Amino acid sequence: MINFLFSNDSKTAKFIAIISGLFAFIVGLYVSYDDFFNHTVSTGVFLMAIGIMQLCNYFLIPHMSLKDERAKLIKEKSMNISYYFYLGVMLLVLLLIDNPFFDFDLSVRETLLLLISVYIIFIHLTMVYFSKKV
């Protein structure tokens, strides 16, 4: 059983990625269900981001396990696009929080959870996108 979990076989890695991704996403939904209706941000949002990351890793394992020039190009393009997107998201959050017309009551913890979750999700989605394009 232990050898099955720690083998470098891509089929095993894909199985672990899909199971852990679905588990983290479902637990994240369960944890953040009540907080969604109370207009607060909980740790469940971060768990859902981890689940989406693992589901994206399910698709990325065949492309990233080779560690060749193509995998390096996918990572470089994804990081470059994600950098500029994340700067835009941080600027948007700053404008929304400082805007007197909107009543956003986010704590620093909630803001950081949202920003980190958006970054994790976007970087892995762009890696999936570039794995299909490159």
Within 13 Å and on the Cβ side, how many CA atoms surround 36?
8
Q: 115: which residues sit within 8 A by CB, 6+ positions away?
A: 86, 89, 90, 93
CA angle 78, 83, 87 (to 5 degrees): 150
Q: How far is CA 50 from CA 7, 120, 130, in A?
A: 22, 7, 20
DSSP letter at 66?
S
DSSP 29-45: HHHHHHHHHTT---HHH
CA angle 96, 91, 110 (to 5 degrees): 60
How far is Cα 88 from Cα 94, in angstroms, rounded to an integer? 10
How high is the pLDDT of residue 10?
77
pLDDT by residue (tens digit) across 33-80?
888 888 888 899 999 999 999 999 999 988 887 778 988 999 999 999
Lowest-confidence region among 70-84, 90-104, 119-133: 90-104
Question: Is pLDDT at 6 greater than 80 in this prediction?
Answer: no
Query: Residue 3 — very low, low, confident or very high, per pLDDT cuts 50/70/90?
Result: low
Question: Is pLDDT at 82 greater than 90 in this prediction?
Answer: yes
Question: Is pLDDT at 19 greater than 80 in this prediction?
Answer: yes
Structure tokens that stand for 20 in this block: 């852990």
- Say what the pTM is: 0.85
How high is the pLDDT of residue 123?
95
